[in-house]
Chains A and B, each alone.
Chain A
Amino acid sequence: MKSKLDVHGLNSYYGGAHILNNVHLKANASEVVALLGRNGAGKSTTFASLVGLVERCKGSIIFDDQEISDKPTHEIIRLGLGYVPEDRRIFTDLTVEENLLVGKQDERDGVRGWTEEMLFTLFPNLAEMRHRPGGQMSGGEQQMLTIARTLMGNPSMVLLDEPSEGLSPKIVEEMANAILEMKKHGLSIIISEQNLHFARLISDRAYIIEKGEIRYEGTMADLDKNDEIKNAYLAV
């Protein structure tokens, strides 16, 4: 089966510092893949590199049979690779509806699109605050808005950078349900997390990254049984 996303030999640099070292990554259609690793392991840099936000970055990134590593960010996004950054980056001066409008892109062939109303069903909290400025929302609400905003671009795959970070257990549960809902909708998802708790609920496969290198890959079920690996790379 052909992969949705196929990353080979990805190397990224911040100035002279070598951050990612030959990272590889694969995700199939309608699959949820977890990218696990401690704080500073290179998860966010991997995502940022995939969507062309890292200035100095080399390697092959094939998305839907297309090499995208030399494309500018907006073109990559428009091909259907959605990106939800770690720090949410809601437009605080814009209302919920305006935030969604910024993310809006035309529907792509072969991708089930999203409408505002579908997103308000997916995240009912947002429906109650359509005209509220992003700056006056709670952390959990902002996290939902940032995902909804990316979905407005009708992506066929989404990169979710630590979506559970800093959220209360109740919101985390809602988030997990929403992500499963997105998967049902037909989306491929790569999700980065520091620990297993949240990722285990939703992921099919997992990669572990440490010091900019992929150290483990396998199914989520296998990883869950492998205490040695878990202790080596994920225990705090």
Chain B
Amino acid sequence: MDFLFIQFLNGLSSASSLFLVASGLSIIFGVTHITNFAHGAFYMLGAYVAYTLTEAWMGAIGFWGGIIVAAGTVALFGALIEIILLRRIYRSPELFQLLATFGITLIIEDLVIQVWGAEDLLGRRAPGLDGAIDIFGQAFPTYELVLIALGPICLCALWLLFNRTRWGVLVRAATQDRMMVSALGVNQAWLFTGVFTLGVFLAALGGAVQIPRDAVHNAMDLQIIVEAFVIVVIGGFGNVLGAFLASFIIAELNSFGILLFPKISMILMFIVMALVLVVRPYGLLGKAETHARTALGNVVRPLAPLTRKAKNWVLAALLVFLILPIFADDFVLNVGSEILIFALFAASLHLMMGVGGMVSFGHAAYFGLGAYGVALLVKFLNMPMEAAIVIAPLLAIAGAIIFGWFCVRLSGVYLAMLTLAFAQISWSIIFQWDDVTGGDNGLLGIWPSEWASNQQAFYYMTLVIVIAALYAIRRIIFSPFGYTLRGCRDSLLRADAIGIDRLRIQWFGFVLAGSFSGLAGVLYAYLKGSVFPDYISIPLSVDGLVMVLLGGIQTVAGPIIGAGVFKALSTIIISHTEFWKIILGAFIVILVVAFPQGIVGFFLERFGSKEEDIAEEKQ
């Protein structure tokens, strides 16, 4: 009993930091609609800066002063990023802002290593609070009690800010309808900067107060960002009280889960999130998403069939791929196969999010299931490649059928987070089920058939399959089913009103996208000769998003070109420098600012079809 109570208190003290980070994330999303992926990085920066300051400044004032100054410094840094970068892209699609903050995350991750080194850093204890007090005969660190109080104190402070100050009321108003706020004479730009700064301050504070508890290290950001997202989703986006409740739930879940279900402790929060979303699609205290009102006159460019000029480009590209083996060595062919595979992966993700309007943060799930499908068929049935390529995607399809059934019942960020939850659950199963999946060691020895075993033959096989699949995806997009799917994306209400069973349509679209992703995974397993849990992990899902957004979500060719550019770039950068994260991050940020419509969207805008030109001239 005593032990359980201590465990409960431990949960409470973790809840405080989680709440600080999650509430910041939630407030930023509520007003600016930015899904701030860099929030974890700001948390990490807060911890690092606080480490440096508290080492330099002595005494209790030095310690607490250091923590506050650290949070303030990082908040100013956040404000700078908002003013210099984010302000330029508020008019871009919201996912682009996510991409930009992802670029920032990469840069900060590398910077932290350059400045503070790769070693874990152990921070100083809080002066006067480094002891323990006796609770039911168990020693409980005094500092943890301070943390326990910190959460409710911050909640009260935020409540006062949002209910007792004009600025707070403006923030609440902007959360609901930011365009109307500016139509009442409020300068949105500074409101956004203020909100972003406040959010970053909370994240950095959450990180800074961690230093007496945990080592400061350079992977803190990913761990916390995922937890924070889960909390915000469970609590309801933009809802601070919801974030508070959810932080408590998740922290206690982590605290007790490790005792009760050690095997699945890592994914307990995802299971809880999935359950919450099934029962309450907008989180515990969230409200139905009001459709974001964009500025009048913003129109999505509809997907158009290829023009003659574009067809020539496609043929030229095909020709290049066909004759590549004549002058390329094995390494280049290997990279070429990989690019083709990821082009299919990105195209399948685009089918889901660009055409189906269902953004997936967990698209690697189907890729990984396809890859593991092959591995299991080879390992247990010794199945030849020709049969495995056909049968293995069924595992991905099965996954997509089950996960999709739940996901299509949600929309927007909530749907995206549920896809992430399912991907993490799949990852965890593969990671933990050593006997079957090999766990962390993966499964090795998945080789193609004799005839496809040299690099050139495998390349051609990949080329044929990928081209056929891409062609099929294109046909689907321009089929009546594709039009229906796009209709559901553009207006669920109208789709309902004309008698479309939109759940069924979206479910089918989801499964189709999942199966193409699975096929890409199958090919990848044969290309690498092995499978690892990485194939189903969050970073791969993020890579997919980057590819689609980089190329441009509003075109069919975009994701394919995005995959090529991203894979080629990362291959080149990684092999030439150890600063690859900084360079890749900077590159992403520059692309987002320079090509807010994606690479392909940019070229369409510049060298678009004749009709567009006429429309331009009319002005």
Contacts and interface: CB of A to CB of B under 8 A. Distances in A.
A149 B184 contact: yes
B480 interface: no
A63 to B, nearest CB: 14
B177 A56 contact: no
Contacts of B175: 93
Interface residues of B, number: 27
A72 B299 CA distance: 20
B184 A55 contact: no
A51 B177 CA distance: 17
A54 B180 contact: no
Contacts of B265: none
Interface string A65-88: 000000011100110000101000
Interface in B169-187: 169-170, 172-173, 175-177, 179-187
A56 B295 CA distance: 10
B619 A13 contact: yes
A217 interface: no
B50 to A, nearest CB: 35
Contact of A45 (B170, B295, B296, B619): B296
Contacts of A14: 296-297, 299
Interface in B52-98: none
Contacts of B181: 102
Interface in A13-42: 13-16, 18
A92 B166 CA distance: 17
Contacts of A150: 184
Contact of B188 (A15, A57, A74, A99): A74
A14 B296 CA distance: 7
Give the dominant DSSP class at B's interface.
helix
B183 A51 contact: yes
A39 to B, nearest CB: 17
B615 interface: yes
Contacts of B296: 14, 45, 48, 53-55
B619 A92 contact: no
A74 B295 contact: no
B618 A18 contact: yes
A104 interface: yes
Interface string A89-119: 1011110001101111100000000000000
Given A14-B297, A53-B295, A53-B296, A103 B179 contact: no
Interface centre among B173, B185, B295, B299 (most CB of A within 10 A): B185
A185 B297 CA distance: 35
A13 B173 CA distance: 28
Interface string B608-619: 000010010011
Given A53-B295, A54-B295, A73 B173 contact: no
B297 A13 contact: yes
Interface string A122-143: 0000000000000000000000
Contacts of B619: 11, 13, 56, 58
B191 to A, nearest CB: 10
A163 interface: no
A153 B295 contact: no
Interface in B182-217: 182-188
A19 to B, nearest CB: 8
B83 to A, nearest CB: 16
A77 B297 contact: no
Contacts of B186: 74, 102
A91 B173 contact: yes
Contacts of A11: 619
- The interface size bin for chain A is 35 or more
Given A91-B172, A98-B169, A85 B180 contact: yes
B236 to A, nearest CB: 13
Nearest to B163: A98
B491 interface: no
Contact of A74 (B166, B172, B187, B298): B187
Contacts of A92: 176
A55 B298 contact: yes
Contacts of B184: 77, 102-103, 105, 149-150, 153
A191 B609 CA distance: 41
A192 interface: no
Contacts of B187: 72, 74
A72 to B, nearest CB: 8
Contacts of B299: 14-16
B169 A94 contact: yes
Contacts of A203: none
Contacts of B615: 16
Interface in B285-321: 295-299
A85 B188 CA distance: 18
Contacts of A45: 296
A156 interface: no
Nearest to B300: A15
A159 B231 CA distance: 43
Contact of A102 (B173, B179, B298, B612): B173
A60 interface: no
A91 B180 contact: yes
Contact of A53 (B166, B170, B183, B185): B183
B185 A74 contact: yes
A12 interface: yes
Interface string B468-485: 000000000000000000
B169 A93 contact: no
Nearest to B188: A74
A180 B345 CA distance: 64
Interface in B486-529: none
A150 B295 CA distance: 20
B148 to A, nearest CB: 30
A91 B180 CA distance: 9
B169 A56 contact: no
Contacts of A103: 184-185
A41 to B, nearest CB: 16
B177 A77 contact: no
Interface centre among A54, A89, A105 (most CB of B within 10 A): A89
Nearest to B299: A15
Interface centre among B169, B183, B618 (most CB of A within 10 A): B183
A105 B185 contact: yes
Contacts of B172: 91, 93-94, 98
A186 B618 CA distance: 41
A35 B428 CA distance: 63
A48 B183 CA distance: 9
B177 A89 contact: yes
A148 B141 CA distance: 55
A92 B176 CA distance: 8
Contacts of B166: 101, 104
Nearest to A103: B184
Interface in B592-619: 612, 615, 618-619
Interface of A: 11-16, 18, 45, 48, 51, 53-58, 72-74, 77-78, 83, 85, 89, 91-94, 98-99, 101-105, 149-150, 153
User: Which 7 A-B pairs have CB atoms at the shortest separation, nearest pair first?
Assistant: A15-B299, A77-B185, A55-B297, A16-B615, A89-B180, A14-B297, A102-B173
7 contacts: A11-B619, A54-B295, A56-B297, A56-B619, A101-B166, A101-B169, A102-B170
Given A15-B298, A105-B184, 4 more contacts: A14-B299, A48-B296, A91-B180, A94-B176
